[in-house]
Amino acid sequence: MRTVALMLALALLVLTGCTWSGSEPGLFGKHVRAESPSPPAPERANPSLPVAGETTWTSAEGQQVTIRFAVHAVRRAADVTVLDWSITPLSAPGRQQGDELPTGLDLGLDRVDDGGIGIVLLDPGTQRVYRPLVSKAQRARHCLCTPLWAVSRMLRLGETRLLQVAFPPLPARTRSVDVIAATLPPFSHVLVSAAGQVPTATYPAELSRPAEPIRPLVAPQFFQTAEDEASRRTATLRVDLVLASTTSTTVRWTLRSMSPQRAFLARPLGPPLVAPARSDGKEISTNAASGPTLAAAGRQPTGVRWMTGEIDGQPILECLCTNLDFWAIGLREAGSAAQLVSVYPPLPRGTDQVDIALPGVANLIRLSVTPAPDGATRVGPATQVTKRTWRYDSGQPQPGWSSVDWPTPVPESGQVSAYQRRVDRLATHG
């Protein structure tokens, strides 16, 4: 009897179906996907942070992270000159404000021979170039600075990180310098503060605001390398901006690969972007934006600026322009782009248009000139601050500071003797 009842129950179940309403939970309950926790909101910017200059740049290693670089002060300290600058990541594909940055980010400022940072100070009055202080110990060579590799682990979208680099002492008569970074337009006419002082802010800095869109001056110019058909590479070069200060002229470019560039590190791109290398081997900027020339109306064309240097005891010449290196490894893929700069001598006063020659490709005429921001006019009078110091620890290097820590400490003077100074000068390429 029990068997008959069970069979009747099963038959009824088959006839009526095993349907559930949308609100019924099912045997194990309704599965709810766990949402990823939102990243903490970026730290609010310090309204008292002075900004002598700023610019934006997008990485070219394949991550496409857009960053705002800013210079806050150049100040004297015991036996050194201190550059205070910052990085504020603005955007990255697939990420939101507060997120950490993707691994492998390359800021384009690494230098092995200068202890890891491609930034110099130029004294326009003397044409001397001050390089970062670098440790004398060859096995652990580093600059007296906040190392980029240590800083990169602290970066978050929308948050400003303060950094520092120490340079040799400047002459007492030097009142301002140009801050020149390898991939960025120079920060011009940055005032030098006395020891124990920092400039003041004249407006609340909004360093996390979105980057302004690029408005190119001309259409991209197509070119190809002078190689056999199997190895030939194609690309475009675009003039985005011509900046003029009283001490230099800068052209900002966008280079875009139109074909795979698997060998771009092994073989320079050549004209029109890269000038032919010197025969004496003294030049190290062998794949740099050194080829185009610039001219004001009625004037002879001029080439990019160069500076002296030394590697392994041998004199070298280095271009004040961007050198294509591992930071631009994304250019191996067709369609990828990199932002570059070339620095030239200053234009005659009042020049508002220039001609740019791309050797063997095009002569671009009557391009508009934009006045470069003047760092001295962007900050307020210097003020006295309480002295604080930090010491480089190779086991745990200083990873920078939050913007609320401004003014930041300066390098402790007792460690400076372990670092070597180097002062070079502007030079001609011929």
Torsion of CA 372, 288, 88, 210, to 10 degrees: 60
Whether 4 has a pLDDT exceeding 60, the answer reads no
Look at 154 and 280; give whichever has higher pLDDT: 154
The pLDDT confidence band at residue 215, using thresholds 50, 70 and 90, is very high
| Across 207-234, average pLDDT | 91
Residue 203 lies in a domain: yes
Residue 113: predicted pLDDT: 65
Answer yes or no: is 309 within a domain. yes
Better-predicted residue by pLDDT, 409 or 297: 409
Q: Give which of 204, 167, 199, 163 is closest to 73, Cα–Cα.
A: 199
User: Looking at residues 3-11, what average pLDDT do you find?
Assistant: 42
Q: What is the DSSP letter of 111?
A: -
Q: What is the pLDDT of residues 39-72, one digit of tens each?
A: 788 888 899 999 999 999 999 999 999 999 999 9
Residue 278: band (very low, low, confident or very high) from pLDDT cuts 50, 70, 90: confident
Q: Enumerate the β-bridge partners of residue 145.
A: 165
DSSP 404: G
Rounded distance between C-alpha atoms, residue 273 and residue 287, angstroms? 8
* Average pLDDT rounded to a whole number, residues 202-225: 95
Q: Is the pLDDT of residue 408 over 90?
A: yes
Instruction: Give the residue-averaged pLDDT of 224-240.
Output: 87
For residue 264, the model assigns a pLDDT of 67
* Residue 297 within a domain: yes
- Report whether pLDDT(112) > 70: no
- For 119, the domain range is 53-427
Q: Which of 60-74, 103-117, 310-324, 404-418 has the lowest mean pLDDT?
A: 103-117
| pLDDT exceeds cutoff 90 at 114 | no
pLDDT at position 23 over 60: no
Q: Is the pLDDT of residue 1 over 50?
A: no
pTM of the model: 0.89
- Is residue 45, in this structure, part of any structural domain at all? no
With a cut of 60, say whether residue 28 has pLDDT above it.
Answer: no
Higher pLDDT, 12 or 237: 237
pLDDT band at 26 (very low <50, low <70, confident <90, very high): very low
Closest CA to 111 of 422, 428, 390, 411: 422
Q: Percent of the chain scored above 70 by pLDDT?
A: 88
267-to-226, 263, 277, 290, 334 alpha-carbon distances in Å = 11, 6, 12, 15, 17
Report the number of distinct structural domains present in the chain. 1
206 pLDDT higher than 50: yes
Whether residue 381 is contained in a domain is answered as yes
* Section 339-357 average pLDDT: 97
Who's near 367: CB < 8 A, 6+ residues apart?
A: 217, 218, 239, 242, 353, 354, 355, 356
Domain membership of residue 274 (yes or no) is yes
Secondary structure (DSSP) of 173-229: T--EEEEEETTS--EEEEEEEPTTEEEEESS---TTSPPPPP--SSPPEEEE-SS-T
Does residue 2 lie within any of the structural domains? Answer: no
Mean pLDDT throughout 393-397? 91
Domain-located, residue 41: no
